[in-house]
């Protein structure tokens, strides 16, 4: 069981490290709401994996499947909504003729 927690900790570190690396290599960096949403989706996704592994170890296969469906689906939806947040905000500002300040980027 401790090996599973070690692997989940390494996966968490790797996911956050990958997200920060991806942010530094992009032309336009993530905004604070985007970065927060992506971090939240990583944690919800890893929670789905932890839920499923612990449910399988307790011989609760249906609970594992429902955990992947509910928590994993939520993580995927949060991930794509966070990536589309910048396009949504810019399309609203273009339609209203409002210029949004770009000072809330994460450097």
Domain membership flag for residue 81: yes
| Residue 80 forms part of a structural domain | yes
Residue 28 lies in a domain: yes
DSSP single-letter state for residue 99 = P
Model-level pTM? 0.74
What angle (nearest 5°) sits at the alpha carbon of residue 82, between those of residues 51 and 63? 15
Per-residue confidence (pLDDT) for residue 107, from 0 to 100 = 52
- 102 located within any domain: no
Specify if 62 maps to a domain: yes
Residue 52 lies in a domain: yes
**Residue 87: domain span:** 2-96
Q: How many domains does the chain have?
A: 1
pLDDT in tens, 13-56: 999 999 999 888 888 888 888 989 999 999 999 999 999 999 99
Work out the mean pLDDT of the chain and round it to a whole number. Answer: 85
């Amino acid at each position: 069981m401790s090996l599973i927690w070690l692997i989940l900790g390494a996966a968490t570190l790797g996911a956050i490290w990958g997200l920060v690396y991806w942010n530094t290599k992009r032309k336009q960096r993530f905004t604070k709401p985007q970065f927060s949403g992506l971090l939240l989706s990583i944690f919800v996704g890893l929670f789905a994996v932890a839920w499923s592994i612990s449910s399988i170890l307790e011989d609760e296969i249906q609970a594992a499947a429902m955990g992947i469906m509910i928590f994993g689906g939520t993580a995927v939806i949060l991930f794509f909504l966070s990536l589309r947040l910048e396009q949504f905000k810019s399309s609203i500002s273009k339609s209203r003729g409002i210029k949004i300040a770009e000072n809330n980027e994460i450097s």
